[in-house]
Amino acid sequence: MSNEIYECDVPLEDYTEGIVATKEEIAEMCKRLGERISNDYKGEPLILICVLKGGFMFMSDLSKNISIPVEMDFIAVSSYGASTKSSGVVRLVKDTDTPVTGKHVLIVEDIIDTGLTLSYLKNLFSTRNPLSVKVCTAFDKPDRRKVEVDVEYSGIVIPDEYVVGYGLDYNGLFRNLPDLRILKKSVYVK
Ligand code: IMP
Ligand code: MG
């Protein structure tokens, strides 16, 4: 087996306990944020920047709820490795290739935890002469913030738990769960 935490006959849900956000709550959140973004940026050049890998599912659902023309690009950063705690060092793994000069940038994130990733990304895009740089996150763990970042579009505020599903992983797994669940501590506390 390529990933040592995974046993192929155990359902994914059995590694989790407690649903933090259901499929229905997530769908409603995407609709609500998509409508706000469509109103706020009407008539303006907008580019959505998805933060890979965790942001892919939210980018897909959010963008389908945006009714104005938008460009999309993808950036990949890494700060965790196989851990549930941020290393604090943000590494750029893949940059965007669409110019953002003269456009409004909206960074689309899965979750904000310490805030380190977002403050790094906000600074990075601010150097590229955009009209503005704002943030849209599906989930927010405000209790864990280490640096203050303004979050203009926040989906669902969640408690300080390590969560998986809806794009979020532990050690590369669980991204395909359609809802947001708490990962059982026994999976990562040995
Ligand atoms: P931050 O830099 O500490 O704000 O962390 C941001 C990134 O860490 C997110 O984009 C996620 O990829 C990851 N992350 C933070 N909390 C969790 C969690 O509870 N589950 C899975 N990934 C998380
Ligand atoms: Mg991640």
- Per-residue pLDDT reduced to its tens digit, 65-117: 999 999 999 999 987 555 666 666 789 999 999 999 999 999 999 999 999 99
Q: Beta strand pairing status for 180-183 and 163-164?
A: antiparallel
Tell me, using a 6 A CB cutoff, whether residue 54 lines ligand 1: yes
Q: Which of 172, 180, 181 is nearest to 15 (CA)?
A: 181
Q: Across the chain, what does the average pLDDT equal?
A: 93
Cα separation, 78 vs 60, in Å, equals 21
Q: Which fold has domain 23-158?
A: Rossmann fold (3.40.50)
Q: Give the C-alpha separation, 114 to 121, whole Å.
A: 13
Give pTM, 2 decimals.
0.93
Active-site residue, 113 included: yes
**Structure tokens given for 180:** 């947001």
pLDDT in tens, the chain (190 residues): 356 666 667 888 889 999 999 999 999 999 999 999 999 999 999 999 999 999 999 999 999 999 999 999 999 998 755 566 666 678 999 999 999 999 999 999 999 999 999 999 999 999 999 999 999 999 999 998 999 999 999 999 999 999 999 999 999 999 999 999 999 999 988 7
Instruction: Determine if ligand 1 sits within 6 Å of the CB of residue 163.
Output: yes
Q: Could you identify the atom of ligand 1 that is nearest to the CA of residue 53? A: 12
Contact between residue 80 and residue 86 where contact means Cβ atoms under 8 Å apart: yes
pLDDT at site 89: 79
Letter for the amino acid at 35?
E
Where exactly are the structural domains of the chain?
Answer: 23-158
pLDDT at 155: 98
Q: Which residues crowd ion ligand 2, with CB under 5 Å?
A: 54
What is the CB neighbour count within 10 angstroms for residue 141? Answer: 19
List Cα–Cα distances, 138 to 8, 96, 101, 111, 174, in angstroms.
Answer: 29, 21, 26, 6, 17
Active-site residue (options: 61, 110, 113, 169): 113
- Report how far ligand 1's centroid is from the alpha carbon of 25 (Å): 20
Dist. CA 173–CA 176, nearest whole Å: 8
Let me know: does 122 contact 137? Beta carbons within 8 Å.
no
What is the pLDDT, as a whole number, of residue 83? 64
